[in-house]
Amino acid sequence: MNDSRTVYLDHAATTPMTGVALESMTAHLREVGNASSLHASGRRARRVVEESRETVAQALGCRPAEVVFTSGGTEADNLAVKGLYWSRRDADPRRTRILASSVEHHAVLDALAWLEEHEGAGVELIPVDEQGRLDVSALATAIERDPESVALVTVMWANNEVGTLQPIPDVVAAARPHAIPVHTDAVQAVGATPVDFAASGVDALSLSGHKVGGPQGVGALVVRREVELAALVHGGGQERDVRSGTLDVPAIAGFAAAVELAVKQQSEHAARLTMLRDDLVDAVRRAVPDAVLNGDPVDRLPGNAHLSFPGCEGDSLLMLLDARGIECSTGSACSAGVPQPSHVLLAMGRTGDEARSSLRFSLGHTSTAADVEAVAEAIGPCVERARAARA
């Protein structure tokens, strides 16, 4: 392996901008104009925004008016969860229950915890199986117990850690008879697996620019036009009166170009990454026979390989790989500098030690067979050193 070459395998955290996104964004960086202004410069900026909205809508199977631009996936998740909760509760004070999977991203879980602490929400986390898939029967039981009290259901399209795809059609089927809105965090799914907003039946869907080859700091919440949503940010009333703030025209243009390309190339991209991912998993298992693949072995994101290495600390293994120029991520989140076991793996029934021994390799549009070969060469010696250090 060439030590001067960085092997980047953390595309689930952020992926490099694609050429079309970079060109589209930079083309507008020197232009002046607030998209809310009425003069010619403002109208030109507004045209870029609305054309971008149409591009995103066409790619995702929704109406342009249903695309609300945000600063990214976290804001989109917060706007969906809090906005739906407040709107539904205000319309009927009985609607205080929120049902979510136990493996949601912290952008959803922390928003739910805040609503529970400050806004009287009753949050119920629905269990998942050992592969990280939602227990749909448990969700249906929770709904049927008192459907009139449910404000919303939120279940991610694909898990950001272990890559398991969630049964969104079944979630919608459980909620729809009771007119309960469904939100899905599709940040990891768009561009990796087919995503059609209208066909899915969900009421709100979050996505983020920098996960699909667009710029950081921009994303969108797709929300059905007929769905009432309370605003998080108040001001000029941009974006359907639910998201105020001056629109970042260059970022929105880059975001739209990235989404369009990602969706257009999704099938070819997924096939290529699935082959690379399977090669990576096979190579790791040859070098470390007791390594365990987490998540569904088949029904998962094409670029995700989440593995546990018994006897290792994931953080130590990550740093050993990083020293060899291989960048990935651990299966744990850090709180105040103290490593905590992944809530996703714990929800899947793993022990704390198993959860702390995990790494996520996530491939993207710049990944190559040489990246896989680098991991195959490095993983065995790195695991040996990590185990020796722990012992």
Buried b (16+ CB within 10 A) or exposed e, 185-209: bbbbbbbbbebebeebbbbbbbbbb
SS3 (DSSP) at 104 = coil
| Catalytic (active site) residue 62 | no
> Of 167, 185, 98, whose CA–CA distance to 131 is shortest?
167
Question: Which residue among 312, 328, 334, 382 is the active-site one?
Answer: 334
Biggest CA pair distance of the chain: 69
Interatomic CA distance for residues 226 and 261, integer angstroms: 29
SS3 (DSSP) at 277 = helix
Interatomic CA distance for residues 271 and 274, integer angstroms: 5
Q: Are 246 and 36 in contact (CB under 8 A)?
A: yes
Torsion (CA) 144, 147, 150, 155 in degrees, nearest 10: 40
SS3 (DSSP) at 358 = strand
Phi and psi (nearest 5°) for 147? Answer: -60, -30
Number of other CB atoms surrounding residue 271 within 10 Å: 10
DSSP 39-96: SHHHHHHHHHHHHHHHHHHHHHTS-GGGEEEESSHHHHHHHHHHHHHHHHHHH-TT--
Interatomic CA distance for residues 124 and 332, integer angstroms: 23
Q: Are 253 and 45 in contact (CB under 8 A)?
A: no
Block residue for tokens 């941009």: 238
Tokens of 64: 């342009």
**E strands of 155-271, at which residues?**
182-185, 204-208, 219-223
DSSP run (H or E) holding 8: strand 7-8
Amino acid at 39: H
**Catalytic annotation, residues:** 334
